[in-house]
Structure 1
Amino acid sequence: MTLLYLAKEYPDPNYRATERLHKCFLAHVGADRERLEAGIAKADFIKRELEAMYSLRKYRAMKQRYYDEPPPTPNPAWETENQP
């Protein structure tokens, strides 16, 4: 998947991911090779993070749809143990 496609599917409409992506590409116009490679590496990282977030969202939706289990409750022993 391309980063632009992933940005269009971003869950928060106020984030304006496509506009930020466009600004990022415009900021690297005429940049040297090292800066371009660093930008590409960062874009690849963001792409993988977005793919992971979308996969998790799909997994949670499927789990909620097919399993009738309530969400896990926090462990009360942990809360009392870590209080100041």
Structure 2
Amino acid sequence: MNYDKQRAMLRKVQEMEFVAVELNLYLDTHPCDRDAINDFNCAVEMLQKHKERYEAEFGPLLNFGFGGLSEEPWQWVQGPWPWEL
């Protein structure tokens, strides 16, 4: 398995999560900032795409029903887990 590729893809997910959270926090205090709302929406779309790509190649990022559908064998136990990279 190519762990360098997995780490790089996971890093993109983490980066976009950071951007989305920061913009969310900004919008909590500036709810009418149209540019920030657009940036937030773009960040969320990019985050979703990065998550979909990662999960399609390496399996779910989350468990307990939040990771979407699973294939056989049960993907969650296939390592390494995201926090082990």
Say yes or no: TM over 0.5: no
**TM-score grouping bracket, smaller chain normalisation:** 0.3 to 0.5
- Mark the structure with the bigger radius of gyration: 1
